[in-house]
Structure 1
Amino acid sequence: MPQSLFGFIMLMGRPHQIAIAALSIMLFIVETVPLELQRRIVNAATAGASYHLVLLLVAAYLGLVGAQGLTKLGLNIYRGWIGEVAVRWLRRSVLVASIHTDDLLPESIAEGVQLSIVLAEAEPVGGFVGTSISEPLLQAGILVAVCGYLIFLQPLMALAIVIVYFPQIGFVPFIQAAINRRIKTKISAMRNISEGMVEHLISDDAVEAQSGRIQTLFSVNMSIYKLKFTMNFMMNLMTQLGYAGIFVLGGYYVVTGQTEIGTVVAFLSGLSKITDPWGALVDWYRDLKTNQVKYALIRDAMESYGSTSLDGASDQFNEQSAVIH
């Protein structure tokens, strides 16, 4: 197996990643157009323009968002497909490697780890392959496009929004690092539980050991929940401060005649278009760090079967790769 998660991603199909990236670029390029159409619709209605013009702008808006929605639908299905291909490859690879192993590991440990990887660990790692490149490209592109448009409309209001989001650059990686440490502990506990189930030992000591592992899993999961939802709370608070900033500055500019009401509406809509991709980027970063930990554990487990067994399975690995490409 490749040593890094991104090496595995490239193994699963570089041409597919390029195609998905192209769709992502196409989407974020036109992301600001609906904002401009919203601004023009509101300004046309409040400035006394003809109703026919308003209907034309609304029809253009609906046509554009419909085309965007269909493109996103195709992108999501495509990403889901490549992710499932990667999941299938991981599961088959673990099974092939375990068949060719030369009894380098105790049977209960080998079967327990294999069970954990095939049923629980392969899916999130493989699923990440589909979004690994296209997701940050799409969401970062949307952020740049929307922020650039808002700066063009009203620089000071846009700057206020940027300042509100800036603290997240500090606390998000810090909290995620703490989550990652717990995820590694969680995976180890799940593998130990699987090993205990494979052994089929029924004794007071065995039951007590399994109960202790389940309690450890419970404690780790609760710790992850607390960190995860604390991060979400802090991010939501930053977002609401952004809305408050728009109301304060936008209200001042409208009252003093320095901007149109349509600009404020565009900013309110634009903030939601910033909030969603920013949250998606944070989720992607969280998934990246989590799956790097999981992939390293899967890779180490595969290597524990021994180089001889993996060499013996290489033909089947290559056959799977050929199907992907």
Structure 2
Amino acid sequence: MDGRPIPTIPERAPKPAAEPLPRSLFAFILKLSAPHQVVLVALTVAVFLLNAAPLEVQRRLVNDALGGGSFATIVTLVLVYVGLALAEGLIKLGLNYYRGWVGERAVLYLRRTVLAGKDAQPRHVAAEDGVDISIVLAESDPIGAFVGGAFSEPLLQAGVLVSVISYMAYLQPIMVVPGLVVLLPQFVFVPLMQRAVNRRAASRILTLREIGVGIAEHSEAHSRLSLQIDRATQAFALNMGIYKFKFTMNFLMNLSYHVGIGLVLLLGGYLVLNKEADIGTVLACLTGLEKLNDPWGELVNWFRDMAVTRTKYGLVYRARPPQEAVVPPGTP
């Protein structure tokens, strides 16, 4: 060490008025990032408007290649396809980076709120210290991660679903049936299984907090090791329960997708044999179904994250009484 002070991040002065954390998760999101959410939504609209265009270019490429089209036309279509993919990718890059910044800003705000409130207390209670440690080190990150995509993520995935289904209906109305086969069963089993995941996630958070409290109390009243081990075992069991429901849900979603693929091949083969559709249309519908699977999975993940994050934020809110929730210094 050369004795020089470690540089610190400069902080703005704290605001004069103290404000409690908002009661609900979405009130917290809007309070902290409403203008940024508007920009994220605008970028999202641009992404899903571009999403279905490559399907049409792909269909025309296949049909021109099989139908004896000119090489110049094929080159032009390839360049258009690459240009659309590049434009969509660059907008997504900016969208994801912006989401990350908004989310990390929320994490920083939560951590500074907890630390500033703890610093303002005249004395520290070990149980409260354990909860604060859990919030600062672990619970703020998933809340912040959700904040970044709170509005743009469901809008993006729903927009992709609508655009792709509309395009498939435009090409061949009967090809919408496989899409419905993929999506409709999931409206039944996903909410049921997600509720089971949410209950276990809430219990897991409380169990980990109890472990943190036990560690914080160790210097004052030595906790029994067996009690802490029991808590760790309970957290393990809760995690395994979450994995069971989560991976079973993923299995059922993938099964629905492959049944849909089989239906596209069956219907597409029938239509091609009867001269009612061309091969390019069938391939475009196969690609479209793949595009349905990904955003639907992401939309399910968003609802899953929303439910879990709402539970986590509720626990954080209840752990921060209004009189302790102060506006932290240096909030960006």
TM-score range, shorter chain: over 0.9
Map of 1:60-209 to 2, 5 A cutoff?
60-101=80-121, 103=123, 107-200=125-218, 206-209=224-227
Map of 1:1-12 to 2, 5 A cutoff?
1-12=21-32
Give the deviation of 1:97 after TM superposition.
Answer: 1.3
Q: Any idea what SS the aligned residue of 2:22 has?
A: coil
Map of 1:214-293 to 2, 5 A cutoff?
214-293=232-311
Amino acid at match of 1:178: A
Amino acid at match of 2:161: L
Amino acid at match of 2:213: E
Asked whether the 8 Å contact 1:161–1:245 carries over to 2, the reply is: no
Residues 110 and 133 from structure 1, CA distance in 2 versus in 1: closer, same or farther, beyond 3 angstroms? same
Partner Cα distance (2:84, 2:178) in 1:
29
Q: Any idea what SS the aligned residue of 2:324 has?
A: helix
Give me the TM-score of the superposition, normalised by structure 1.
0.93
Deviations 1:294-318 (A, max 9, x none): 0000000001xxx4333xx34x37x
Asked whether the 8 Å contact 2:217–2:223 carries over to 1, the reply is: no
Partner Cα distance (2:67, 2:324) in 1:
75
Q: Which moved more, 1:160-169 or 1:175-184?
A: 160-169
Asked whether the 8 Å contact 1:160–1:242 carries over to 2, the reply is: yes
The percentage of aligned residue pairs carrying the same residue is: 45
Q: Any idea what SS the aligned residue of 1:309 has?
A: coil
Q: Any idea what SS the aligned residue of 1:49 has?
A: coil
Amino acid at match of 1:272: E
Asked whether the 8 Å contact 1:182–1:224 carries over to 2, the reply is: yes
Asked whether the 8 Å contact 2:40–2:152 carries over to 1, the reply is: yes
Residues 259 and 301 from structure 1, CA distance in 2 versus in 1: closer, same or farther, beyond 3 angstroms? same
Partner Cα distance (1:75, 1:308) in 2:
37
Asked whether the 8 Å contact 1:151–1:159 carries over to 2, the reply is: no
Q: Any idea what SS the aligned residue of 1:2 has?
A: coil
**Out of 36, 53, 60, which is 1:16 matched to?**
36
Partner Cα distance (1:13, 1:213) in 2:
37
Amino acid at match of 2:91: T
Q: How many residues are treated as equivalent by the alignment?
A: 312
Deviations 1:107-164 (A, max 9, x none): 1111100000011100000111000000001110111011001001111111232133
Partner Cα distance (2:149, 2:288) in 1:
24
Residue matched to 2:324: 309
Partner Cα distance (1:82, 1:228) in 2:
27
Question: In the alignment, is residue 57 of structure 1 matched against residue 77 of structure 2?
Answer: yes
Asked whether the 8 Å contact 2:181–2:256 carries over to 1, the reply is: no
Give the deviation of 1:201 after TM superposition.
Answer: 5.3
Aligned CA-pair RMSD: 1.6
Partner Cα distance (1:242, 1:132) in 2:
29
Partner Cα distance (1:91, 1:221) in 2:
25
Partner Cα distance (1:163, 1:279) in 2:
15
Asked whether the 8 Å contact 2:214–2:223 carries over to 1, the reply is: no
Residue matched to 1:35: 55
